[in-house]
Chains A and B, each alone.
Chain A
Amino acid sequence: MFFFALGCGEKVPRTGAYVAVGIVIAFLLGLGAGFLFGRGGVTTVTVPTTVTHTVERTVTFTPPILQQYTSPQPTAPTTATQAQLLQNITLKVAMSTDIRALDIHFAMGVADFEVLGKVYEALFKIAWDGSKLAYVPGLVKSYSQLNETAWLFILRNNVVFHNGKKLTAEDVKYSLLRSIRLSGIGKQLLTDAAGNPIITDIVIANETAFILKLSAPFTPLFENLAHLSTAIMPKEIALKYWDGPITSIEDVIGTGPFRLVSYEKGAKVVLQRFDGYWGNRPNVKTLEYLIMPDASARMSAVISGVVDVAVGISPDMVEALRSQGIEVYRAPGVRLVLVAINCKRVLDVRIRQALNYAVNKEDVVKEFMRGYAEIATSVASPTFPNVVSLKPYTYNVTKARQLLEEAGFVGKKLTLLTSTRSPKDIQLAQVIQQYLKNVGIEVEIVQMEHTAFLKRVFTDHDFDLAIYGPSPSSLYYALTYWRTGASLNGPEYSNPEYDKLLDEIATEPSEVKRVELYRKAQEILWRDAPAIWLYFEDILIAARPGIKGLQVLPFQMLIVDNVYV
Chain B
Amino acid sequence: MRRLWINIVKGFLNLLLVFLITTAVIYFLARLFPGDTITVLYGEVNSLQDGRRILEAKLGLDIPLYIQLISFWQKILVGDWGISIFAGKPVFDLVFQRYVNSLMLSFTATLTTTAVCILLAYLSFTRRCRRLTTLVASISTSIPAALWGVMLMVALVLAKVSIPFGSIIMPLITLTIAGVGVFYTILKSLIDEALSEPFMAFYRAMGLTKSRLFLKALRYALPMYITAVLYRMGLIIAGAVATETIFNYPGMGKLLIDAFASRDYPVLLGWAVIISLTLAALNITGDVMQDILDPRVRELM
A contacts B directly in the complex (CB < 8 Å)?
Answer: yes
Residues of A within 8 A of B (CB): 2-3, 5-10, 12, 14, 16-17, 19-21, 23-24, 27-28, 31, 34-35, 98, 100-102, 106, 108-109, 181-182, 184-185, 187-188, 195, 243-249, 252, 263-268, 290-294, 296-297, 299-301, 303-307, 449-452, 454-456, 458-459, 468, 470, 487-488, 490
- Complex Cα distance, B246 from A291, in Å, reads 10
Taking a contact as CB atoms under 8 Å apart, the answer to whether A245 and B162 are in contact is no
Our pick among A8, A300, A305, A454 for the contact of B188 (Cβ within 8 Å) is A8
Q: How far apart sit A106 and B47, CA to CA, in the bound complex (Å)?
A: 12
| Assembly CA distance A451 to B41 (angstroms) | 10
Contact B139 A20 (CB under 8 A): yes
The answer to whether A187 touches B153, judged by C-beta atoms less than 8 angstroms apart, is no
How many angstroms from the CA of A98 to the CA of B192 in the assembled complex?
50
Cα–Cα, bound, A452→B40 (Å): 9
The reply to whether B250 and A100 contact each other, CB–CB distance below 8 Å, is no
B94 surroundings in chain A (CB, below 8 A): 265
- Is A6 within 8 A of B258, CB to CB? no
Once the chains bind, are B246 and A294 in contact (CB under 8 Å)? Answer: yes
Q: Which of B10-18, B64-72, B78-86 contacts A (4 or more CB under 8 A)?
A: B78-86
- Contact of B88 with A247 in the complex, beta carbons under 8 Å: yes
Extra pairs beyond A3-B196, A301-B163 (15, CB < 8 Å): A102-B88, A108-B43, A184-B47, A244-B58, A247-B84, A248-B88, A248-B89, A263-B88, A299-B157, A305-B162, A307-B165, A454-B43, A455-B39, A487-B42, A490-B44
Chain B: interface secondary structure?
Answer: helix
B84 touches A265 (CB 8 A): yes
- Contact assessment for A304 and B143 in the assembled complex, using a CB-CB cutoff below 8 Å: no
Q: Please give me the 7 A-B residue pairs with the lowest Cβ-Cβ distance, nearest first.
A: A184-B45, A451-B35, A265-B87, A455-B35, A20-B138, A108-B43, A266-B258
Would you call B158 and A101 a contact (CB within 8 A)? no
Residue with the highest number of chain A CB atoms closer than 10 Å, among B130, B161, B263? B130
Bound-state CA distance A23–B155 (Å) is 14
Contact: B39 with A244, CB < 8 Å? Answer: no
How near does chain A come to B62, taking the closest CB pair, in angstroms?
A: 13
| Contact of B59 with A244 in the complex, beta carbons under 8 Å | yes
Provide the bound-state CA to CA distance between A452 and B150, in Å. 29
In angstroms, how far is the closest chain A Cβ from the Cβ of B248? Answer: 5
Please pick, from B33, B153, B185, B249, the residue contacting A452 in the complex, using a CB distance under 8 A.
Answer: B33
Q: Say which residue of A10, A263, A268, A454 sits within 8 Å of B166 (CB atoms).
A: A268
- Which A residues lie within 8 Å of B51 (CB)? 181-182, 184, 187
Q: Which of B55, B151, B254 contacts A244 (CB 8 A)?
A: B55
What is the chain A residue whose CB lies nearest that of B254?
A: A266
Complex alpha-carbon distance, A101 and B50, angstroms = 20
Shortest A440–chain B CB gap in Å is: 32
- B196: A residues at CB distance < 8 A: 2-3, 5
A10 and B191 alpha carbons, distance in the complex (Å): 12
Q: Which residues of B contact A8 (CB under 8 A)?
A: 134, 185, 188-189, 192
Residues of B contacting A34 in the complex (Cβ-Cβ under 8 angstroms): 158
Chain A residues with CB under 8 A of B33 = 449, 452
How distant is the Cα of A555 from the Cα of B261 in the complex, in angstroms? Answer: 24
Q: Is B214 an interface residue (CB 8 A)?
A: no
Residues of B within 8 A of A (CB): 33-35, 39-51, 54-55, 57-59, 83-89, 94, 124, 130-131, 134-135, 138-139, 142-143, 150-151, 153-158, 160-166, 185, 188-189, 192-193, 196-197, 245-250, 254-255, 257-258, 261-263
Residues of B within 8 A of A265 (CB): 84, 86-88, 94, 250, 255, 258
14 A/B residue pairs, CB under 8 Å, sorted by A: A8-B188, A100-B43, A108-B45, A181-B50, A187-B51, A248-B88, A265-B84, A265-B88, A265-B258, A268-B250, A300-B153, A304-B157, A451-B40, A455-B34
Please state if A243 and B43 are interface contacts (CB–CB under 8 Å). Answer: no
> Smallest Cβ distance from B157 to chain A, in angstroms?
5
Residue of B nearest to A7 (CB): B189
Evaluate whether A487 and B48 lie within 8 angstroms (CB atoms) in the complex, with A17-B138, A34-B158, A266-B254 already known: yes
A328 → B minimal CB distance (Å): 17
Say yes or no: A297-B47 contact (C-beta < 8 A), given A243-B55, A263-B88, A267-B254: no
A2, A12, A249, A266: residue with the most chain B Cβ atoms closer than 10 Å: A266
Q: Pick the contact of A297 from B39, B162, B165, B197 — CB < 8 Å?
A: B165
A156 to B42, CA, bound (A): 32
User: How far, in angstroms, from A174 to B164 measured CA to CA in the complex?
Assistant: 44
**Which one of B41, B49, B151, B155 contacts A245 once the chains associate, using CB atoms below 8 Å?**
B41
Task: Chain B residues near A35: list those with CB within 8 A.
Answer: 154, 158
Smallest beta-carbon distance A267→chain B, Å: 4
Q: Name which residue of chain B comes closest to A297, CB basis.
A: B246
A residues within 8 A CB of B34?
451-452, 455-456
Interface pair B157/A488, CB less than 8 Å apart: no
Report the Cα distance A106→B192, complex, angstroms.
Answer: 62
State whether B157 touches A300 (Cβ < 8 A): yes
Taking a contact as CB atoms under 8 Å apart, the answer to whether A100 and B142 are in contact is: no
Q: Within the complex, which residue of A5, A252, A303 is in contact with B88, where a contact is CB–CB below 8 Å?
A: A252
Report whether B134 and A16 are in contact in the complex, using a CB–CB cutoff of 8 Å.
yes
Chain B residues within 8 Å of A2, by CB: 196
Residues in A whose Cβ lies below 8 Å from that of B160? 304
Specify which chain A residues have a CB less than 8 angstroms from the CB of B189 in the assembled complex.
6-8
Quote the shortest CB–CB distance from B240 to chain A (angstroms): 14
CA of A31 to CA of B89 in the docked complex: distance in angstroms? 43
Which residues of chain B are near A459, meaning CB under 8 Å? 39, 46, 48
> A3: which B residues are within 8 A, CB to CB?
193, 196-197
In the bound complex, CA of A3 to CA of B190 (Å): 10
Q: Are A19 and B40 in contact (CB under 8 A)?
A: no
Docked-complex contact A16 and B44, CB < 8 angstroms: no
